[in-house]
Each structure stands twice: as structure tokens, then as C-alpha cells.
């Protein structure tokens, strides 16, 4: 018996509905397992108009989330860019989602920053998404990365030699950015859209193999599927997922280990190496430095310095972050040191009464007295300096400056000069403290390592008529 045409149509509709529901259930389960969103949340959804982003908006809308559809027009593909913008607005209207559109002059931005086109688009996109998130009090920014994107990212990172973090692929959640579609395939996405009656647009630049990701997507992975069977993609995705799980465990163990030897701004590298050895200790240091913007080579250089007992070293990260190494202790993000030897202030002691140096937190008071009233203190106090007022006879100002390598001072009562760096070492100053230290000078003569050592120059003697009393205090 031949079934009635209407029954065939009805059965087909049931199949379509069942798949769409299963797709949405799959995404919902992924969201729940990874705690990406809570039912009813407001979400900014990146909507390019391509299949991935349209499916993302459709499924989140179907699951009951309040969606703000955000479309970026980067003005790079002429009429095609305008087509994508119009389509994104139409899709948002179709799905009853609020839409927001912005037009960028991407080329002008790229020229101003020196970034590549890809990085410029990314920077502009995520900066605007975050602005929208804050403006609309949204809990997250959802983007449409799917399973194949995850595999591609992991393979590209392996080719770059990024280590376990890169091999783990794309995280389900990064800050406010969530990726609900990471478990579904491109084929499933297209089928879902077809059965929901939703259209998408294709970016013609995706067909170009000028970009590494496109060559991987269009050439390498299809060859793998052809040579090793279509199931090879599922196997690759499973491997990336396993690495992700291992990486999460690895991060927990790394964080626990590092917590024993320091905190977010300070790490005892010597103790770390003693406990874990050279190789494992170095890898732990790499992981410690990574969030602060330092590449792995910096960690290797720090370990070498500690091993060779070097100290007082400064390292610069990719975002101009600083790391100071002093006696095996690494300090991150301390006060930016002044350039070596920079003059901080000029002082005319017979004209002013106070000099404040807020950048190092020191204030110097200046008093002038009659020498007949002078009583030399029984105990030396390096926070106070006494100078014969005759030092101002030529009207040459005194200068406050930072330390230079090779600086020498003739300490009060000593027959010879000594290196200022040796004074720092005796006082057990850290590298950052050395950088902040101040020297009071008269021309090229060092009169005072402020708070640490007085010189023998221009002392108060029996021939002194008037003198200056300089006292350093913390602000």
C-alpha cells in the first residue's frame, strides 16, 4: 500500500522537529555542564551572518535567553560586507532578538596600531562586544566556535609549538566569553538551520588559502578525512577534548604548587627550583609568568640567572610588564623604575624649606642654623645630613638623582671612597629599592646616599658659620 502524500509530509516534519530539538538539547547540555549560562540570562551574541553565528543566535533564543545580536561591519569586502550587515539585521528580526550594528574603519585602525587585519578585526570586535555587555548588563558574550574550529585551533597551536595550553584548543569559557557550540559539528549546524528554515551568508574570503587557518580547513583536514576516513575528525576532536581535560588538571596542580612559593606578584624562584628541580621548576615558572605577559624565554633566562647567583636584574614582558629578580626572589609589576641616573630635583637650600619626591615616597626638609648652636649627634643618623652653608657660595644648586653604576661616595670619617652599590648590598636593598634610592650631589660629588650614608664633604667644622640640616622622612 502506497502511503498518502500527506502522511509522508507529516512524517518528514516530525523528523525535522526531532533533530532540531535534539540539537538544542545537546547545546543546552553543554552549557549546563560547563556552567556557561543560567536560564534567562541576557547574552551579547556575535552575529556575522554566517552559519555558525546564525545557529548560535537561533538556539540561544530557542532556549529562552535574552539575546542582543551584535554585528560588526569591518568595511573590508565592499558590497559583500553590506550584504552581511543587512542579512544579520533580518535574521535578528526574524528571531525576535535586539540587534546592534557598528561600522568600523578597520584599515585606518590597522595602520594606527600596526596589527594585522585579522588581529585588528579581533581587537575591534571584542572591545565593542564588551562595551555592549556592560551597557546592557549582559552576563556573557557568546561566539559561534564549533568542533572543527576547536580542532583547527589546536593543530595551528601545535604547529606554532605553544605547548599543552595551545594543544588544549579553545576553552568553553574565557572571562565573559562563552562558546556554547564547541561540541557540535559544522554539518550539524547547517542541518539545524535548514530544518529551522534559516538562511546564512558565506564569507568569500574563507575560500582563499592565503591564510594558514583556511589552508588547514580547506586542504589539510579534508586530506586527513580522505586518507584516514571521515571518523578521523571525530577522533581528532576527542583528542583535543582529552587534552583540555588534562590541561585543566595540570593548571590546578600548577596553581597549587606555585601557591606554596609565592603569590600573584612575588615568587621564590630559588625555593621553587630546589623543590622541583631545573626542568620541572622552569616549566612551573613559565606557567607563573604567562598570565603576566612574559614569553617562555624569559623564564629560562631567570632560571639561568638564579642558578648562576646573579641578582638585581630586570626583565620586560610583551606588554611592558616588569619583573625584578633580587636574591632569587622574583617580583612582578613593581613600581616602574626611573631611568638610571635621572635627576629628580634641583635644590637651592638657602631658598626652599621642603623638597617632596612623591614617586619614591620621600620628603626632605631643609633648615638653616647658626653654627654656634650646632651639637653633633652622638650616634650617626643617615636620615639627617649636616652641610656647611658655604656649599652655596657659588650658587650651584644641589641635585637629587638616582643611582648610576660606578657611583662612589667618600663616607663621613672614612679615608677612602666606596661604591654606592656596596652600600646598597650592605643594607640588603632589593633591586626595586636600589632603583628608587636617591643621591644628593654637588656637581659630580655625592654628598648623601639619602637615608643610608653621609659623605665627608662640606662637614660642619670649627670654621663653619652657618649650616644646613637636611632630614629625609617618608611621605
**In the prediction, which pLDDT does 267 show?**
93
Of residues 43 and 3, the one with the higher pLDDT is 43
Q: Does residue 1 carry a pLDDT above 70? A: no
pLDDT surpasses 80 at 207: no
Residue 387, pLDDT > 90, answer yes
Contact (Cβ atoms closer than 8 angstroms) between residue 469 and residue 386:
yes
Exposure on the CB side of residue 170, measured as CA atoms within 13 A: 21
Which has more confidence, 412 or 211? 412
3-state secondary structure the chain: CCCCHHHHHHHHHHHHHHHHHHHHHHHHHHHHHCCCCCCCCEEEEECCCCHHHHHHHHHHHHCCCEEEEEEEECCCCCHHHHHHHHHHHHHHHHCCCEEEEEECCHHHHHHHHCCCHHHHHHHHHHHHHHHHHHHCCCCEEECCCCHHHHHHHHHHHHHHCCCHHHHCCCCCEECCEECCCCCCCHHHHHHHHHHHCCCCCCCHHHHCCCCHHHHHHHHHHHHHHHHHCCHHHHHHHHHHHHHHHHHHHHHHHHHHHHHHHECCCEEEHHHHHHHHHHHHHHHHHHHHHHHHCCCHHHHHHHHHHHHCCCCCEEEECCCCCEEEEECCEEEECCCCCCCCCCEEEEECCCCCCEEEECCCCEEEEEEEEEHHHCCCCCCCCCCEEEEEHHHHCCCCCEEEEECCCCCEECECCCCCCEEHHHHHHHCCCCHHHHHHCEEEEECCEEEEECCCEEECCCCCCCCCCEEEEEEEEEC
Question: What pLDDT score does 326 carry?
Answer: 86
Cα separation, 244 vs 242, in Å, equals 5
The domains found in the chain, sorted by start residue, are 5-241 (3.40.50.620), 262-332 (no CATH), 343-474 (no CATH)
> Which pTM does this prediction carry?
0.64
Angle at the Cα of 178 from the Cα atoms of 173 and 179, rounded to 5 degrees: 100
Mean pLDDT across 424-428: 85
pLDDT of residue 361: 78
Mean pLDDT in residue range 433-455: 89
- CB-based contact 37:65 (threshold 8 Å): yes
Q: List, edge to edge, every strand of the sheet that includes 329-332.
A: 266-268, 329-332, 322-326, 313-316
Give the separation between CA 203 and CA 71, rounded to whole angstroms.
14
The pLDDT value recorded for residue 7 is: 41
Mean pLDDT of the region 373-386: 85
- Give bridge partners of residue 355 from the DSSP assignment: 364
**pLDDT recorded at residue 337:** 46
**Does residue 5 register a pLDDT over 80?**
no
The listed range with the strongest mean pLDDT (16-30, 60-74, 208-222, 228-242) is 60-74
Question: Could you tell me which residues come within 8 angstroms of residue 22 by beta carbon, excluding any fewer than 6 positions away?
Answer: none
Whether 452 and 376 have beta carbons less than 8 Å apart is answered as no
Which pLDDT does position 443 carry in this prediction? Answer: 86
- pLDDT for the residue 318: 67
Residues 290-316, mean pLDDT to the nearest whole number: 86
Confidence of residue 62 (pLDDT cuts 50, 70, 90): very high
Q: Is 361 within 8 Å of 425 (Cβ atoms)?
A: no
For the stretch 243-290, pLDDT in tens is 999 989 988 999 999 999 998 888 999 999 999 999 999 999 999 998
Residues in Cβ contact with 337 at an 8 Å cutoff, skipping those fewer than 6 apart: 314, 322, 432, 435, 436
Mean pLDDT: which of 279-283, 294-298, 397-401 is highest?
A: 279-283
Q: Is 154 exposed, middle or buried (0-12, 13-18, 19+ CB in 10 A)?
A: buried
> 97-135 burial by CB neighbour count: b if 16+ within 10 A, else e?
bebbebebebeebbeeeebeeeebbeebbbebbbebbee
What does the alpha-carbon distance between residue 46 and residue 460 come to, in Å, rounded to a whole number?
Answer: 75
What's the pLDDT tens digit per position in 118-151?
888 999 999 999 999 999 999 999 999 999 999 9
Average pLDDT of 303-327?
A: 82
Mean pLDDT over 240-244 rounds to 93
* 335 has a pLDDT exceeding 80: no
The model's confidence at residue 228, banded by pLDDT at 50, 70 and 90, is very high
Question: Does 8 have pLDDT greater than 70?
Answer: no
% residues pLDDT > 90 (the chain): 52
Residue 12 has pLDDT above 60, yes or no: no
What is the overall mean pLDDT for the chain? 87
Stronger pLDDT, 348 or 469, i.e. the higher one:
469
Mean pLDDT, residues 3-27 taken together: 65
pLDDT at site 190:
95
pLDDT, residue 273, reads: 95
Amino acid at each position: 500500500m502506497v502511503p498518502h502524500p500527506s502522511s509522508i509530509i507529516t512524517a518528514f516534519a516530525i523528523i525535522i522537529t526531532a533533530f532540531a530539538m535534539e540539537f538544542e538539547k545537546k547545546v543546552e547540555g553543554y552549557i549546563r555542564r560547563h556552567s556557561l549560562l543560567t536560564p534567562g540570562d541576557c547574552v551579547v551574541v556575535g552575529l556575522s551572518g554566517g552559519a555558525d553565528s546564525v545557529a548560535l543566535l537561533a538556539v540561544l533564543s530557542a532556549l529562552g535567553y535574552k539575546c542582543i545580536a551584535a554585528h560588526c561591519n569591518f568595511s573590508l569586502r565592499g558590497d559583500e560586507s553590506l550584504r552581511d550587515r543587512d542579512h544579520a539585521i533580518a535574521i535578528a528580526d526574524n528571531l525576535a532578538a535586539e540587534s546592534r550594528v557598528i561600522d568600523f574603519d578597520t584599515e585606518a585602525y590597522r595602520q594606527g596600531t600596526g596589527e594585522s587585519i585579522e588581529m585588528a578585526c579581533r581587537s575591534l570586535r571584542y572591545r565593542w562586544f564588551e562595551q555592549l555587555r556592560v551597557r546592557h548588563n549582559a552576563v556573557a558574550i557568546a561566539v559561534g566556535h564549533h568542533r572543527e574550529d576547536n580542532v583547527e585551533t589546536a593543530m595551528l597551536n601545535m604547529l606554532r609549538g605553544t605547548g599543552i595550553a595551545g594543544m588544549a584548543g579553545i576553552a568553553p569559557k574565557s572571562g565573559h566569553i562563552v562558546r556554547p557550540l564547541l561540541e557540535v559539528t559544522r554539518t550539524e549546524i547547517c542541518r539545524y538551520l535548514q530544518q529551522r528554515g534559516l538562511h546564512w551568508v558565506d564569507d568569500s574570503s574563507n575560500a582563499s588559502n592565503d591564510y594558514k587557518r583556511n589552508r588547514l580547513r580547506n586542504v589539510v583536514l579534508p586530506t586527513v578525512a580522505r586518507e584516514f576516513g571521515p571518523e578521523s575528525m571525530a577522533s581528532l576532536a576527542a583528542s583535543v577534548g582529552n587534552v583540555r581535560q588534562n590541561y585543566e588538571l595540570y593548571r590546578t596542580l600548577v596553581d597549587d604548587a606555585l601557591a606554596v612559593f609565592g603569590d600573584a606578584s612575588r615568587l621564590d624562584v630559588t625555593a621553587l627550583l630546589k623543590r622541583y628541580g631545573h626542568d620541572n621548576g622552569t616549566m612551573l615558572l613559565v606557567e607563573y609568568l604567562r598570565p603576566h605577559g612574559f614569553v617562555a624565554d624569559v623564564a629560562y633566562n631567570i632560571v639561568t640567572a638564579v642558578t648562576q647567583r646573579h641578582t638585581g636584574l630586570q626583565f620586560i614582558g610583551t606588554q611592558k610588564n616588569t619583573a625584578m629578580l633580587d636574591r632569587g626572589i622574583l617580583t612582578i609589576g613593581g613600581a616602574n623604575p626611573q631611568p638610571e641616573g635621572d635627576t629628580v630635583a634641583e635644590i637651592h637650600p638657602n631658598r626652599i624649606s621642603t623638597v617632596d619626591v612623591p614617586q619614591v615616597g620621600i620628603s626632605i626638609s631643609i633648615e638653616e642654623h647658626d653654627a654656634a648652636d650646632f651639637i653633633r649627634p652622638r650616634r650617626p643618623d643617615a636620615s639627617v645630613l649636616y652641610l656647611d652653608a658655604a656649599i652655596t657660595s657659588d650658587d650651584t644648586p644641589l641635585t637629587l638623582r638616582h643611582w648610576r653604576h660606578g657611583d662612589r661616595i667618600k663616607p663621613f670619617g672614612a679615608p677612602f671612597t666606596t661604591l654606592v652599590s656596596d652600600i646598597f648590598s650592605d643594607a640588603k636593598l632589593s633591586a626595586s629599592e636600589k632603583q628608587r634610592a636617591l643621591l644628593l650631589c654637588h656637581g659630580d660629588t655625592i654628598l648623601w646616599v639619602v637615608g643610608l650614608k653621609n659623605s665627608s664633604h662640606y662637614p660642619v667644622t670649627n670654621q663653619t658659620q652657618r649650616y644646613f640640616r637636611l632630614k629625609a622622612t617618608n611621605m
